[in-house]
A and B are shown apart, each in its own frame.
Chain A
Amino acid sequence: MSKLFDYRTCPTTGLRVDRAAEKLIKANAVAAVVFLAIGGFFGLTVALTRWPAVHFLPADWFYLALTAHGFDVLLVWIIFFEMAVLYFASAILLNSRLAGPKWAWAGFALMLSGALITNVVVLQGQSSVMFTSYVPMMAEPPFYLGIILFAVGALIGCGVFFGTLVIAKREKTYEGSIPLVTFGALTAAIIAVFTIASGAIILIPTFLWSIGLVGHIDPLVYKTIWWAMGHSSQQINVAAHVAVWYAIAAMVFGAKPLSEKVSRMAFLMYILFLQLASAHHMLVEPGISSEWKIFNTSYAMYLAVLGSMVHGMTVPGSIEAAQRARGLTKGMFEWLRKAPWGNPAFAGMFMSLVFFGFIGGISGVVMGTEQINLIMHNTLYVPGHFHGTVVAGTTLAFMAITYILVPLIFRRELVMKKVARWQPYVFGIGVAGISIFMMGAGTLGVARRHWDMTFADAVLPFDYPSAAYLMMGLNGIFAIMAALGGVMYVVVVVGSVFFGKKLAEDEKPEYPEVPPESAAVSHYGSAETLKIPGTAFLVGIFFVAFVLYYFVNWKYLSEIWPLS
């Protein structure tokens, strides 16, 4: 028996849109963008401080800003947006009502209050402990409390998502299996539960320690479990943004997965193996066996990396197949040349795909190699890597889908379309620059989380090579570009949400373009004749770059002092 619920019918997709879900998507998306703006601002001040010629903030403010930057963008922006993605991928895509909207609102309220508490306590200045808050360095108790509340709220959101899947199945709102995008969101939600559980296991005792009820937290244990949250939460992002790639490919091109089986298996690899990534942070810690490091850091023989490499082919492959089916068959790359580069949803998504693979992905695997980590651990190479994954990958993908969600969910036309058109390029190239130059500086030894690379106040002098200064200057310039892209995004989104032309109930927005049904490709059974030479070529380039870069770093490693 299907229960009555308040819905409207989407003129683009014909799906019923649960108004309760719609409101929750809006609230979570708006909160996400607000914290992106705050966290992004802090990020800019950090980059300007690390630009030696500018050296913007004093030391105490720098460490404060860096703590706030990490918390606001790495956790708050991304998890809020993921809640929106979860509700969209469940209630909307499955044509269903949302399970327990009241619970979802309670979760939202917890997340919001947690985020505010931690932000306030960080701004008060006594909790500049970095986002990682490694013990025995201690923050004020509300710092941990805020994160715990935020996590509990997110856990409730995951529960609502699972509940919605159950309801949709029971009420038969869809036929057969859940869509691939929902499957990806399910992957993200399952990883999120593991992540949040790990967070609870370590942050609750740490909170009790900060108020004096627990005597000692072992720093090594803390780090191992904290990163089971810290790194796994980035794997939520990976699962979510890969789902977003598939969603955008479907909405812009009508692209159909090359093979449901392969894409779902790749997501399954994430569920099974991504959680082992805590080890990436434990490779140069005392007293951990090499067997443990090798097994965990490689996600059990790189099976999760295999998942990402598969998505890296199937997403562009499905686009190529869709474009070719539409007649763009000339040469290897007509399908890509004639792709809608002026559509910010596509441009953002495609850059996210490329940057995530080439910059974030390759560097992550290389840095996560047990021995190679020795020449990278805690240098700027680390933030270089994860700005490639989390910002150029996840954030750019989330920005891209916003351009589709605003008209679909907020029922407003985008304002300032010219700005929107350029936004992914400005932001994407800015972030790619940040990542590359930080990795370059890290290769030259520059420490992360460090206020003064000139060591002007140190008793014993030390100088980094001058190339490192050049890298940090370029990093600053590209950070300004990325910040500009961030501002463009916020302006377009906020402007559209509040001032965009209202779409009539039955009016179809410009995006998604919703290609004709005939464009849907790779009808099953055509597997033997599938032709995606362009994608194969791109994947080949990726593979060669990967192999070369991997072995070049072994070469670098072999040049340092012998250690045993």
Chain B
Amino acid sequence: MAITPPSERIWWRQPIAKIELIWIVVAFLWGLTMFFMMIYWHGAGEQNLSNEAYKIKPQRFAEHAQKMIDEYQVGEEAGFPVVHPPPGSDVYLIARLWQWWPILELEKDQSYRLHMSSMDWQHGFSLQPININVQVHPGYDMVVTVKPDKAGEFGVVCNEFCGIGHHTMVGKIYVVE
């Protein structure tokens, strides 16, 4: 029994039942499949994080964002600037207690280098309803190249707990044709 010492002292010499062996081989091969699937997707798939990131002071990141807002602001909504940066450009999204700043307006099927960083605590960038989720840290500028392929209005929810106002932290991204 499993609660008593093995009845055969040289238990490691005992043969393994065929059915166990088969399962071990199947499970091992399945593990390899899943392992190589991740590598395969880096080549063949379209959804990969670049892992490009830089250390940055929050203030410096805010300056970049402000510059973008000053140059490309096209409107205002509920106190948030709405910004329409040119396709292919560097786009900045500030996470802070408790806002995603500013509102971005992107063009469908165009690529943007989206920079994200936090001014204070950690935040979670959760783009809805598509469900893309990325962690945003203070002191790190994370760069993700995004290419929106559907037009519409998208919510940016914060899904990392960031204090008492966490549940009010909602931002917006518009994708226009």
Main SS at interface, chain A: loop
Q: Is the CB of A459 within 8 A of B166?
A: no
- Given contacts A378-B124, A462-B157, 18 further A-B pairs with CB under 8 A are A129-B161, A130-B161, A134-B161, A137-B121, A177-B9, A256-B1, A285-B135, A286-B140, A298-B34, A298-B38, A301-B35, A378-B159, A379-B126, A445-B131, A457-B168, A459-B99, A459-B168, A561-B130
Instruction: Enumerate A177-209 residues with CB–CB distance to B below 8 Å.
Output: 177-181
Q: Is the CB of B121 within 8 A of A136?
A: yes
Kindly provide the distance from the CB of B107 to the nearest chain A CB, expressed in whole angstroms.
13
Kindly provide the distance from the CB of B166 to the nearest chain A CB, expressed in whole angstroms.
7
Given A247-B2, A256-B2, check contact A286 B135 (CB 8 Å). Answer: yes
Please give the number of chain B residues whose Cβ is less than 8 angstroms from any Cβ of chain A in the complex. Answer: 93
Residues of A within 8 A of B (CB): 59-60, 63, 93, 128-130, 134, 136-137, 174-181, 218-220, 246-247, 249-251, 254-263, 284-290, 294, 298, 301-303, 305-306, 309-310, 313-314, 317-318, 365, 369-371, 373-379, 443-445, 447-452, 455, 457-462, 464-465, 520, 522, 524-525, 527-528, 530, 532, 536, 539, 543, 546-547, 550, 554, 557-558, 560-564
Query: Does B104 reach chain A (CB closer than 8 Å)?
Result: no
Kindly provide the distance from the CB of B46 to the nearest chain A CB, expressed in whole angstroms.
4
Q: Is the CB of A294 within 8 A of B159?
A: no
Query: Does B133 reach chain A (CB closer than 8 Å)?
Result: yes
Nearest opposing residue in chain B for A535, CB measure:
B19
B134 touches which one: A284, A443, A458 (CB < 8 A)? A284
* B127 partner residues in chain A, CB cutoff 8 A: 561
How far apart are the CA atoms of A477 and B94 in the complex, in Å? Answer: 38
Instruction: Enumerate B80-138 residues with CB–CB distance to A below 8 Å.
Output: 80, 99, 103, 120-122, 124, 126-138
Kindly provide the distance from the CB of A448 to the nearest chain B CB, expressed in whole angstroms.
6
Main SS at interface, chain B: mixed
Kindly provide the distance from the CB of B173 to the nearest chain A CB, expressed in whole angstroms.
10
How far apart are the CA atoms of A10 and B109 in the complex, in Å? Answer: 73
Nearest opposing residue in chain A for B13, CB measure:
A261
* A310 partner residues in chain B, CB cutoff 8 A: 20, 23-24, 27
Nearest opposing residue in chain A for B80, CB measure:
A460
Q: How many A-B residue pairs have CB under 8 A?
A: 315
How far apart are the CA atoms of A174 and B4 in the complex, in Å? Answer: 9
Kindly provide the distance from the CB of A367 to the nearest chain B CB, expressed in whole angstroms.
11
* A528 partner residues in chain B, CB cutoff 8 A: 15, 17-18
Q: Which of B46, B103, B137 has the most CB of A within 10 A?
A: B137
Query: Does B68 reach chain A (CB closer than 8 Å)?
Result: no
Q: Which of A136, A258, A450, A520 has the most CB of B within 10 A?
A: A450
Q: Is the CB of B121 within 8 A of A374?
A: no
